């Protein structure tokens, strides 16, 4: 059987997320951070993906808000590669979800994947409103 895996690789090639299959949908989240990154997320379970880092590659992380996920960047070229949950298992023991930035993928491999502009997080309040961004539009 032909290998169906896809790769999401930063600009310098130091960090690659190897994904098992084409995503069903790509989300262009409009929360206060994702819209600034201009990321287009595909979601997978953490146990479905392999992160390959070349020798000497380093990640930087940005953790904000409720501190439930980290945004991970290549320290060399600055590309946002993926966001990762702080807890890799859900409360019921299943593998947690993570988001990979499809902007780092070959656009022809995901050309026919449906895109949505996800506004669901636009009004989602944080657990700790003191950590919200000044442009957070949620009602607290």
What is the predicted pLDDT for the residue at 94? Answer: 92
What is the predicted pLDDT for the residue at 7? Answer: 97
Strand 80-85 and strand 41-45: the pairing is unpaired
Hey, what domains does the chain have and what are their CATH numbers? 6-23+43-111 (2.170.150.70)
What is the predicted pLDDT for the residue at 3? Answer: 59
Q: For 113, how many CA atoms within 13 A lie in the half-sphere containing its CB?
A: 20
What is the predicted pLDDT for the residue at 112? Answer: 96
Q: Does the model's pTM come out above 0.75?
A: yes
Buried b (16+ CB within 10 A) or exposed e, 62-71: eeebeeebbb
Each residue's pLDDT expressed in tens, for the chain with a length of 140 residues: 445 889 999 999 999 999 999 999 999 998 889 999 999 999 999 999 999 999 999 999 999 888 999 999 999 999 999 999 999 999 898 999 999 999 999 999 999 999 999 777 777 777 887 878 788 877 88
């Amino acid at each position: 059987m032909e290998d169906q895996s896809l790769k999401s690789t930063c600009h310098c090639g130091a960090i690659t997320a190897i994904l098992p299959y084409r995503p069903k949908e790509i989300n262009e989240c409009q929360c206060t951070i994702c819209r600034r990154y201009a990321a287009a997320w595909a979601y997978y379970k953490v146990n479905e993906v392999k992160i390959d880092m070349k020798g000497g590659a380093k990640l930087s992380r940005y953790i904000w808000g409720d501190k439930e996920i980290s945004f991970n960047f290549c320290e060399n070229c600055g590309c946002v590669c993926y966001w990762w949950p702080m807890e890799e298992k859900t409360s019921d023991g299943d593998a947690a979800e993570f988001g990979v930035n499809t902007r780092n993928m070959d656009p022809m491999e995901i050309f026919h994947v449906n895109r949505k502009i996800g506004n669901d997080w636009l009004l989602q309040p944080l657990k700790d409103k003191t950590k919200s961004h000044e442009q957070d539009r949620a009602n607290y």
